A and B are shown apart, each in its own frame.
Chain A
Amino acid sequence: MNELTIVIATIVLAPIVGGLLFGIDRRITARLQGRYGPPILQPFYDFFKLLGKEGIAVSKMQFVWIYCYLILMIASLLCLVLRADFLVLVFLLGFAGVSLVLGGFSTKSPYSHFGANRELLQILAYEPVLLLLAVGIYAKNGTFLISAITAHEEPMLASLWPLFLAVLYVLTIKMRKSPFDIATSHHAHQEIVKGITTEFSGPFLAIYELTEWYEIVLLLGVIALFWANPLWVGLLIAFAAFLLELVVDNIAARMTARWMVRLSWSIGLFLGIVNIAYLYMTKGVF
């Protein structure tokens, strides 16, 4: 397959997969809560309904940033499917996160600001873990290139399992699931209205939803990298991780942003640092 085909296929297929995953999420969550739940295709119905609404906004920059969020997320996902540099993937994902935060900040709205500040703390919580994963990948392969990961016969999980555990809670933060649904939540128990998405509506909210679909595919793709040969094992692990998040979401209560940062900067970093230290001791320097 040439690269252009991969790019087009990814841009078209990723949101379909992502939307379906969100549909499954809503259905399973409903069952766990003793409800019947919406049809699997409900996220798509919502999406098209939002697209059809009148485009209203509170500032021009807000709209520019949410668009930026979408494009950077797609760029980050393309880094993954084109097997480019993992560090660039993390940097682009970071920029995407920053765009969303700035979208939240670029209006004088109290709820939006609450959400944006909390989203920023979420970035602070997950960014070092992803960067440590990059360092871990470098420690193992001597390069940040994803193509080197997929070329390896031995799965990354064997030597990077502590980092895998750390990445699992990054997934919780990124999927906006309890206990880390701090900046905004899929459930209606958010006391700061809708957090960072409060001021997004109509087509702009649709762009936000679309970006989340790309994001879930990207994150599960990163998790699949832990067992890249054969890839179907990795994909199964990713799907299992996804289901695990749903269970965690329904059995955990939401915690505060400070608690999240402390947890991430203690346990998450500990796991990552121990992992890298071990690799350094056993493998030495390239």
Chain B
Amino acid sequence: MTDWMMAIAILLPVVSGLLILAVRNYFARGVIVVLTAVVLIANSLLFATKGPMTYTPSPGFDWATLIAVLDYAILVTYLVIGFKYRNWLVLLFTATQLIPLLYFEFIMKAHVHPEPAFVVDHLAIVMTLIISIIGSLICVYAIRYMRDHEEHLHLAKSRQSRFLFWLVLFLGAMNGLVFANNLVWLYFFWEVTTLCCFMLIAHDKTKIALENAARALWMNATGGTAFILGIIYLYVTQGGSSALSVQNIIGGNVHGAAMLLPVALLCYTGCTKAAQMPFQSWLLGAMVAPTPVSALLHSSTMVKAGVYLVLRFAPAYAGTYLSTAVAIVGAFTFFGASALAISQTTGKRVLAYSTIANLGLIIACAGINTPLSIAAAILLIIFHAISKGLLFLCAGAIEHQIWSREIEDMEGLAAKAPLVTLITAAGMLSMFLPPFGMLLGKWVALEAAYKVPLAAIFFVLASSLTIVFWTKWLGRLLEVMPKLGWPLEKLSPSYSVPLWTLFIGIFVIGIGIGPIYSSFISSATSNVISGMSAIVASSWSDIALTSSGAKGGAAVLGLFPLWSLYVVLGIALVLPMLFMGLKPTQLRQVYLCGEQSGGVDTDEWLAEADVKTKFILGGYYFQGTVGEKAMNPWVNTVAILLLAVMIGCGVFVR
């Protein structure tokens, strides 16, 4: 049974990916993607019901050698990419990975086989649920999206198969990444996600796509370098392969001052993949890719791998200066990215900055490192995945309605595409307002943050900035002429099923957070904190009852009847929208000092010499204050210094 579940989670995406690559028919390909999605979702739910488990593949097949060979294959691919596009940074940081890896495996003749190879604990189950459910929905969405995308580009030869191959493969790599207990295997899955990410960003093969893909590659390769150096350091100082078990590291079985430096390196690796400042540019550059890529990178894969790594190793650096440094690095990114988001004129870039900001918040929560903050981090991972996945899918749907990504072009979208606007608005509100999950996470985070007051202050500032950029954008969508009864647009099921599922998901998970918390998140929290400690035998509820983390979180979540806030929202917003209406006779034209040129729904006025002129409204972007030109130099400088301090903290043990 376990064999099959593991195989489906990690290998099925590979098999389906290869099938998709072979099939050239749109419908057959669609069916394969949908079937894979269904099986992956069912499998992840099975993991959730069966609870934690460990797994080591039977020795019949030499998986370790296969993975080693594939490691080199990936790194050689990077080299080829570096040579092909003459990108010296890619070459440099591939070499810094390749040489240590060769040294590690051939000179040191390291044999790494810590048992068990895979540990599926509660945190891993929460992650696999996110990856399998949200990731699969995005793959389903991509079926139709890529057809529209290629029709718009007028491609001679379809490249949809290639695209879907990398997309589906990504899910398998992510599942492997969150399950892996063997650090060397974790590194392998880490590199697979980097490779998938490169291939997907570069998909359109335009000059800018290739440039941005290469940037994503070298930035993540610096993280990979830190990863492999951390592995070697651990192996040398702790002597032997048992030191390279994730559970041993976080369980405290690997001791001493020498442990902290590799953990600091792993935190750095996590920060590169989670696009923390100063690495935010790779995630922003990833925007050039077709929208399903962004949706996948931002919600359930890639960046979530980064925060997963930092969160996973949280107990290994608890109570050290490193922990405080991680908290401040994350909190600073939360603040900086939120400010920069205000200046963005492109919808997807606002979403990207918002992702970077929220990942910063999650990393800060890991750094604060109390049971409460870890619970906040897990809550935020879940809610962010749902809301951001939804928002990117909406951004794609909007793009295919108006063929633009600019916020100014989305002016009055509520009139052109009421359905998509409604879903987008719900997604946006769920990012920053009560009673939705993201704000719940922020609330718990703020409660936990007092331990690191500087982080708390960054949280406060960033939360205020967050309100501004979301409201500003939402305001542009809602700007309509006085008219009633906008006709609803039609959406293909490949769009509408993922959109509505995630839309409903926001409310279901939001309202049901109490039971979900006590049955899932509290055990995941105590899992993060106490590591392996007898997870195998115990069921969900046992851990929930005994852990202090669960009590801490339940104290916050339990004190306030959260459902009452949903009742307020229902009375305030949903009821009037559904049941209170205006009659067309109640509509009036807007105030234009009596210079209107016509009826109620004209946006023309009589300008100089009574010439009919359309009036145009624009949003505020404050480029001079919070624009990239104004902010980037100092924000990046501070971020680099903070990262240096963070790694430096690995040397000092409190």
| Chain A interface, DSSP helix/strand/loop, else mixed | helix
B446 touches A64 (CB 8 A): no
A127/B464 contact (C-beta < 8 A), A64-B577, A134-B446, A135-B456 known: yes
A108/B580 contact (C-beta < 8 A), A72-B568, A98-B433, A135-B450 known: no
A110 touches B586 (CB 8 A): no
Within residues 119 to 162 of chain A, which ones have a CB less than 8 A from any CB in chain B? Answer: 120-121, 123-124, 127-128, 131-132, 134-135, 138-139, 144-145
- Give Cα A85–Cα B568 distance, bound, in whole angstroms: 16
* B108 interface contact, C-beta 8 A: no
Within residues 85 to 102 of chain A, which ones have a CB less than 8 A from any CB in chain B? Answer: 85, 87-88, 91-92, 94-95, 98-99, 101-102
A60/B620 contact (C-beta < 8 A), A68-B572, A106-B480, A285-B451 known: no
Chain B residue numbers with a CB within 8 Å of A241 are none
- Give Cα A124–Cα B447 distance, bound, in whole angstroms: 21
Across the interface, name the chain A residue whose C-beta is closest to B601: A108
A67/B482 contact (C-beta < 8 A), A88-B434, A111-B591 known: no
Chain A residue numbers with a CB within 8 Å of B615 are 110
Q: 0/1 per residue, B227-264, Cβ < 8 Å to A?
A: 00000000000000000000000000000000000000
One of A31-39, A172-180, A273-281 at the interface? A273-281
Chain B residue numbers with a CB within 8 Å of A84 are 560
- Give Cα A95–Cα B569 distance, bound, in whole angstroms: 10
Report the interface size class on chain B.
Answer: 35 or more
Chain B residue numbers with a CB within 8 Å of A277 are 453
Chain A residue numbers with a CB within 8 Å of B481 are 59, 107-108
Count of chain A residues near B, Cβ 8 A: 64
B414 touches A61 (CB 8 A): yes
A98/B447 contact (C-beta < 8 A), A88-B560, A280-B453 known: no
How far in angstroms is the closest Cβ of chain A from B163?
Answer: 37
B479 touches A108 (CB 8 A): yes
A105 touches B479 (CB 8 A): yes
Q: Which of A68, A95, A106, A112 contacts B434 (CB 8 A)?
A: A95
Q: Which of A61, A85, A99, A108 contacts B590 (CB 8 A)?
A: A108
* A215 interface contact, C-beta 8 A: no
One of B6-14, B197-205, B311-319, B468-476 at the interface? B468-476
A124 touches B468 (CB 8 A): yes
Q: Which of B449, B451, B478, B559 contacts A85 (CB 8 A)?
A: B559
B590 touches A98 (CB 8 A): no
Chain A residue numbers with a CB within 8 Å of B559 are 85, 145
B457 touches A108 (CB 8 A): no
Q: 0/1 per residue, A52-78, Cβ < 8 Å to B?
A: 001111111101100110111001000
In the assembled complex, 21 residue pairs joining A and B whose CB atoms fall closer than 8 Å, in A order, are A56-B588, A57-B482, A57-B582, A57-B586, A58-B590, A72-B572, A91-B434, A99-B572, A102-B471, A105-B476, A105-B478, A105-B479, A106-B475, A107-B590, A108-B617, A109-B591, A124-B464, A127-B463, A193-B591, A277-B453, A285-B451
The 6 A-B pairs with the shortest beta carbon distances in the complex, nearest first, are: A105-B475, A71-B572, A109-B590, A106-B478, A127-B464, A131-B460
List chain A positions with a Cβ less than 8 A from chain B. Answer: 54-61, 63-64, 67-68, 70-72, 75, 84-85, 87-88, 91-92, 94-95, 98-99, 101-102, 104-113, 116-117, 120-121, 123-124, 127-128, 131-132, 134-135, 138-139, 144-145, 193, 198-199, 269, 273, 276-277, 280, 285-286
Given contacts A75-B568, A102-B471, A198-B591, 5 further A-B contacts (CB under 8 A): A105-B474, A107-B590, A110-B592, A113-B475, A127-B464
